[in-house]
Structure 1
Amino acid sequence: MTNLRSLDPSASPLDFYGSELRRLREEAGLSQEELGACIFCTGSLVGQIETTKRIPTRDFSERADAALGTGGTFSRLLGLVLRSRLPSWFQPYVELEARASYISTYQCQLVYGLLQTEEYARALLGVDHPDKFEEQVAARMERQRILDRGTPPALWVVLGEAVLHQEVGGRDVMAEQLRHLAGFARSPWVKIQVLPFAAGQHAGMMGSFNLLRFDEDPDLFYAENYDHGHMTANPQVMRERSVGYARLQACSLSPEESVQLIVRVTEERYG
């Protein structure tokens, strides 16, 4: 039996999740071992999640909802829990990204987070956060769920060609990642252009950036450094960056040509 401790539900989303799991389990008259048997895990795992020693997964949350008849409580809470595990400076951007109706991004080094495979994300996040990268991978995968909504945001991505050649996680991981990108060719909401090496100097030489557009709120510009992000709705900045993004699109391969390049690099470099 996991040692029970008092939880403050207001301390964090994870504490609230754990306290609700304990409360609803006890209301159902189930021990940790009994609930674990119902949802195909150990009682120890249930106890660790109740005491915030482990981060719940989506699979665990959905099974707990079904077993305890919560109407989806834990599945809804999970998004808050995982978002709270992101770096504090990044959380405001993720919240706004989820509300945006149109996302434009230029990425010069890495695949944009919304389009990363789990193994690619794991390889990236394991470099700087070996102690907690699993929860950050889960948070990144959760973040991608906005693309599965009935009406997802329109996402336009310009990738520097170097992104295709920067091997992250090994050949197999990169091959899977590039195949994943090529698969978006059939999506009506996601468009990918590759900015080729042959473009030479261009409007994105200063680094990656994102533009978020909303149905009712002001547009936003976002860029980040190693350990912090910068976000502004300054109209002049938005005007300049929007023009710069249009110039990047004009210098890039068409979406159809970009897919052809992605497929070719996959076969020749990682195949």
Structure 2
Amino acid sequence: MANVQSLDPSASPLDYYGWELRRLREAAGLNQAQLGEIIFCTGSLVGQIETTRKLPTRDFSERVDAALGTDGTFSRLMGLVLRSQLPTWFQPFADMEAKASYISTYQAQLVYGLLQTEEYARALLMVDYPNKVDEMAAARLDRQRILKRENPPALCVVLSEAALLQEVGGRKVMRSQLTHLLGFLHAPWVQIQVLPFAVGQHAGLMGSFTLLRFDDDPDLFYVDSYDQGHMTANPSVIKERSVGYARLQATALSPEDSAMLIAHVMEERYGDRSWAGRSALAQVVVQRNERRRVRRVHRDRRRRMA
């Protein structure tokens, strides 16, 4: 357990955050309780964060920046702090994922990290990291911030039907997770397709993988295993896996039909028969029919103007 006397600011981003928080708090002439009162938390929490026993949040950081007049210093540090909570072998991929313009991924068993709910992520992390669930869940959810940027990456996800049926965290967690996936049906930069079991053999049977494309850098191929990740820009690998991914997309259900399958699984397997006042499946059908109606109106209008 760290203490304020022995904290080494060069040890990690979290240690640097705690060291800077103590230094700037003391420079402002405040003790922990006084700063806590200003930013609406306890002095004990301030002390825990200063000694790295507690992970700061973005909200905490914003309030500290405002209280100490640090011009966003702690808010900017949060990205580094949260990234450092990811497994060391995964951090290089997370760095590249955040810079990518296009992300294409096939997931054989689980929902892709950028689309996971907090409860789903925590249930997964509890298996291998029971003592670091809070920190690692916060780090995983922070990765999702790239989808909320002003210029987000285009994200194409092909999910095996197995990802819908693999119960993670219990029925309630799965209902919430599948509802979350349905919420991306109209997202302009996110496309989710489900690869049903009925397709038989396919180009993804070797397992999950991800392709990253950049505006000015070479494409990357990434695959992970239990305790390590492999990333390469080898052109032959990129070519082979890009063709394989195109085949997966062509074989998978359309985004609309995928949403219908997700809704069907949510109702039949996890017992949810009410989404926005009606069944999830009915809701998706209504939305699909409405989109078809709008397209038909636009098509007829163009014909009249021709």
With the length of structure 1 as denominator, give the TM-score of the two structures: 0.97
Aligned residue pairs, count: 270
Which stretch of the first structure deviates more once superposed, 244-253 or 63-72?
Answer: 63-72
- For residue 62 of structure 2, give the secondary structure of its aligned residue in structure 1: helix
Is residue 83–residue 139 contact of structure 1 (8 Å, CA) maintained in 2? yes
Which stretch of the first structure deviates more once superposed, 55-64 or 242-251?
Answer: 55-64
Unaligned runs of 5+ in 1: none
State how far apart, in whole Å, the 2-side matches of 1:177 and 1:67 are. Answer: 37
Aligned to 2:11: 11
State how far apart, in whole Å, the 2-side matches of 1:240 and 1:126 are. Answer: 35
Give per-residue Cα distances to partners, 1:59-113, cap 9 Å, x unaligned: 2112212222222211110110111111111000000000000000000100000
Letter in 1 for 2:250: A
Q: Do structure 1's residue 218 and structure 2's residue 196 form an aligned pair? A: no
**Map 1:244-255 → 2, pairs under 5 A:** 244-255=244-255
Letter in 1 for 2:92: P
Aligned to 2:176: 176
Unaligned runs of 5+ in 2: 273-306
**Map 1:52-91 → 2, pairs under 5 A:** 52-91=52-91
Which stretch of the first structure deviates more once superposed, 86-95 or 41-50?
Answer: 41-50
State how far apart, in whole Å, the 2-side matches of 1:88 and 1:212 are. Answer: 20
- For residue 138 of structure 1, give the secondary structure of its aligned residue in structure 2: helix
- For residue 184 of structure 1, give the secondary structure of its aligned residue in structure 2: coil
Is residue 18–residue 52 contact of structure 2 (8 Å, CA) maintained in 1? yes
Is residue 100–residue 212 contact of structure 2 (8 Å, CA) maintained in 1? yes
Is residue 221–residue 231 contact of structure 1 (8 Å, CA) maintained in 2? yes
Letter in 1 for 2:146: I
- For residue 186 of structure 1, give the secondary structure of its aligned residue in structure 2: coil
Aligned to 2:108: 108
Aligned to 1:143: 143
With the length of structure 2 as denominator, give the TM-score of the two structures: 0.86
Aligned to 2:42: 42
State how far apart, in whole Å, the 1-side matches of 2:112 and 2:207 are. Answer: 13
Q: What is the Cα deviation at residue 267 of structure 1?
A: 1.4
Q: What is the Cα deviation at residue 6 of structure 1?
A: 3.5
Q: What is the Cα deviation at residue 3 of structure 1?
A: 5.7
Which stretch of the first structure deviates more once superposed, 105-114 or 257-266?
Answer: 257-266
- For residue 29 of structure 1, give the secondary structure of its aligned residue in structure 2: coil
The RMSD of aligned alpha carbons is 1.1
Is residue 159–residue 195 contact of structure 2 (8 Å, CA) maintained in 1? yes
Q: Identify which of structures 1 and 2 has the higher relative contact order when contacts are C-alpha pairs closer than 8 Å and 6+ apart.
A: 1
Aligned to 1:27: 27
Letter in 2 for 1:186: H
Q: After TM superposition, which residue ranges in structure 1, 4 or more long, deviate above 6 angstroms?
A: none
State how far apart, in whole Å, the 1-side matches of 2:246 and 2:12 are. Answer: 41
- For residue 250 of structure 1, give the secondary structure of its aligned residue in structure 2: helix
Aligned to 2:260: 260
Letter in 1 for 2:104: S
